[in-house]
Amino acid sequence: MFGRPLAATQLIQKKLADAITEISLALNACLHVSRLKDMDKVTPEMISLLKRNSCGKALDICRSARDMLGGNGICDEYHVIRHCMNLEAVNTYEGECSSASSGSA
């Protein structure tokens, strides 16, 4: 952007930091629930909440990444739009973000 790397701007740095924070939190939650499952202490509600949260965060992060790239975010030479379309298709078809909130896992 204007002769500088995109990640050199503070707004982009904040968006990237927010994304990696959410990804790290989701991975840690998955690890924790996986360990609970290994000990037979997990409930379907835990899995449902984890799926709902992970799906929502993945969509938010992907949309943010697409926005960070501006017009390039919708070009097929960048992989962001492909991931966005895949997440949106799965969300539309399976309804993970909405169905998990109604208690179906």
Q: Which of 22, 45, 77, 94 is catalytic?
A: 94
Within 10 angstroms of residue 72's Cβ, the number of other Cβ atoms is 13
Find the helix or strand (DSSP H, E) in which 85 lies: helix 80-94
Active site residue 77: no
C-alpha to C-alpha distance for 77 and 80, rounded to whole angstroms = 9
Kindly list the catalytic residues: 94
